[in-house]
Structure 1
């Protein structure tokens, strides 16, 4: 290999390492601007069987996204670590701007019913169920992350998609998760 090609290869590797490092550390990340009120969702519907997330405003579909779910998604979440994505009606109770998964919207799970069921079973119900992007440093995977369900019970979309969702879903928005 000529000296020039070696230098180009080294510079390309350095550039890739810097880009991945900046994504991993979230350096220079900016938050998406909030969409206008007319473009904001009043409900997020997640259908586990079809791996689909739909943003709605007053019953009208604003956008749809394909998702990855918990590693064992069938059935209701029963305890921390079961790999299941919960089912039921919740709300977005926090928007996490510095998530390890690009950006994240936390869902208000566990509710009183899930907490009581877990207490009676002597287990933790789990917590921090989020709608989020891909792990920092792996954003280049894009839609490939959906080839299998991989989260601990969360709902995952691409980083570009979580930026769109972030801008259109204010805190307090209803989230319905169906089997």
Structure 2
């Protein structure tokens, strides 16, 4: 096990570089970190070990003294046009709400957009519900990052599992495969 690192915020029992904590991460997350073209971004990701019973954002922030304004949620959306469904992921700060009906729907050119069913999100990502992260999503998916997330010095996102979270620079999320930073994705 590697040495403990100091995360930029929060009070966690254990924090390590994510590349040194691969056994704790979901397989698609490990694959994404190891194969990320932006090597310096991959090396900047910190894994913090946490209680899976406190994975929901509000409980997590309270338990680990993590600022809500640096917590980001990754939401899987199903966009429909005609008989075709496109899955996409959207990342917004926990202090905001994703504008599914306008911003997401219009950006994806869909007639209708809604949150994807939990079973679909879990099956398609290979991640646990409550831990879905933008790191390691299917490469064919659009990944929409709210500009406020990309502007944050650091953000907290899921690790692919309910146990543990990742902390990384907000700008690094915009460097993930398929990522597009969008102004006004959330309100």
TM-score by length of 2: 0.27
- Taking CA–CA contacts closer than 8 Å with sequence separation of 6 or more, which of the two structures ends up with the larger relative contact order? 1
Larger Rg: 1
